[in-house]
Amino acid sequence: MHAVVLTHGDVDGITSGAIGLLAFPGADLYFTRPSQIHADLYRVARDRPDVVSVSDIALNTMRFDDIIRALSRFPRETSIHWTDHHPMAAKYKRRLSQRVEMFHQIGPCAAELMYRKFADRLPEHALRLALYGAIADYCDNTPFVRRHFEDFDKRTLYLEAGLLVQALQEIDYRRESKDLTWELTLGIEPSSMNNIVDLAMKATRVEHEVFRYVQSHARKVGPVGYVLDMPVHGYRGKSAKFAAYFTDSMIGISARSSEDEVDVSIRRRNSKIDLNRLLSRVISSFTNAQGGGHPAACGASMKRSDFPRFLQLIADEVAAQSS
Ligand SMILES: [Mn+2]
């Protein structure tokens, strides 16, 4: 049997992908992302695999037709599993479900969904992977996760998951993440991976520096705190949180500019605002901007010259919603 696992490169992606590899032994593993999934599916279809598993990939509605077209390239016999927890409008879910075996739920992480979907064919250690994914994605308050926290010492689970989260800040995706995913399928714990422990410690020290940097460089526009072009790469979600904290804001943004683009990570702080919804409203007033994510964590990119107006629109929306 020829199987292919396509998944995201963050900890939930890696753990849900590792569970996919355990469910379909011998499968090939590729990392992908919402902006690329259509092209990757198209490429994978040429090999006519028996099984494809896509996990933790948000549906990019701007690419929806391309995704449907790519799916139509697979032989009818290919079973395609689509497992995800990002918001998905009902019409897209319905349309996609005509071709894929959809397991979609908001609340649990993708790794929990993968575990629940394939539990009867997984080894015992796969359960820990599901819990690491849940901790990493802040999806650790579901009935499934709460129940299984009782099976271990949850403090140890947080340490192991924390090592993965931190190390990934310093891993440049792809190659090393692939090795890491394979090690996880073997049941090797992060604390037993020397390179992961070293990277996690380094990342934690860098994170503390990032915290101090944001303290002295965060700015505020209305109810939104932001930091632009930190001297370190990565740490974007974390620095967005810190920017909200240091400016006493409901929303934090960490932005990085390149020659003609600005890329932002958005987080909320003590707020129930649905960032995904907020972002899709704001982004519709820009050309060449895209983004999305979860209610509590989002990302977007836009033309560099649009960034000031973007900040202002986000601030206006948040102010309007909270008054
Ligand atoms: Mn996820």
Using the mean position of ligand 1's atoms as its centre, give its distance from the Cα of residue 56 in Å: 5
Q: How far is the CA of 290 from the centre of ligand 1 (A)?
A: 19
Structure tokens at 209: 């520096």
**Dist. CA 82–CA 56, nearest whole Å:** 9
Cα 305 to middle of ligand 1, angstroms = 31
Q: What is the dihedral of CA 57, 138, 187, 125, to 10 degrees?
A: -100
Give residue 83 CA to ligand 1 midpoint distance, Å.
Answer: 10
Please name the helix (run of DSSP H) or strand (run of DSSP E) that holds residue 15, with its range, or none. Answer: helix 11-23
Among candidate residues 317, 321, 283, the one with its CA nearest the CA of residue 300: 283
Q: Which parts of the chain sit beneath pLDDT 50?
A: none
Nearest to 21 by CA among 10, 7, 36: 7
Backbone angles phi, psi at 103, to 5 degrees: -125, 100
Q: How far is 224 from 227, CA to CA, in rounded Å?
A: 10
* Residues in a beta bridge with 102: 82
Q: How close is the Cα of 42 to the center of ligand 1, in Å?
A: 23
Burial of 293 (0-12, 13-18, 19+ CB in 10 A): buried
Output the CA 59–ligand 1 centroid distance in Å: 12
How many A from CA of 137 to the centre of ligand 1?
6
Taking residue 197's Cβ as centre, other Cβ atoms within 10 Å add up to: 15
How much distance in Å is there from the Cα of 12 to the middle of ligand 1?
5
For residue 26, the CA-to-ligand 1 centroid distance in Å is 24
pLDDT at 148: 98
The CA distances from residue 196 to 15, 179, 266, in Å, are: 15, 11, 27
Kindly give the distance from the C-alpha atom of residue 110 to the centroid of ligand 1, in angstroms, as a whole number.
Answer: 5
Could you tell me the distance, in angstroms and rounded to a whole number, from the CA of residue 19 to the centre of ligand 1?
14
Contact 170, 132 (CB under 8 A): no
**4 CA to centre of ligand 1 in angstroms:** 19
Predicted pLDDT of residue 173 = 67
Task: For residue 122, report the distance from its CA to the centre of ligand 1, in Å.
Answer: 20
186-203 residue pLDDT tens? 999 999 999 999 999 999
**Ligand 1 centroid distance, CA of 213 (Å):** 28
In order of start, what are the domains of the chain with their CATH numbers? Answer: 3-198 (3.40.50), 218-322 (3.10.310.40)
**C-alpha of residue 87 to centroid of ligand 1, in Å:** 11
Give the strand pairing for 79-84 and 51-55.
parallel
Q: What integer pLDDT is reported at residue 209 of this predicted model?
A: 97
CA of 10 to the centre of ligand 1 (A): 8
Residue 107 has a pLDDT of 95
Distance 171 CA to ligand 1 centre (A): 18
The per-residue pLDDT for 121 is 97
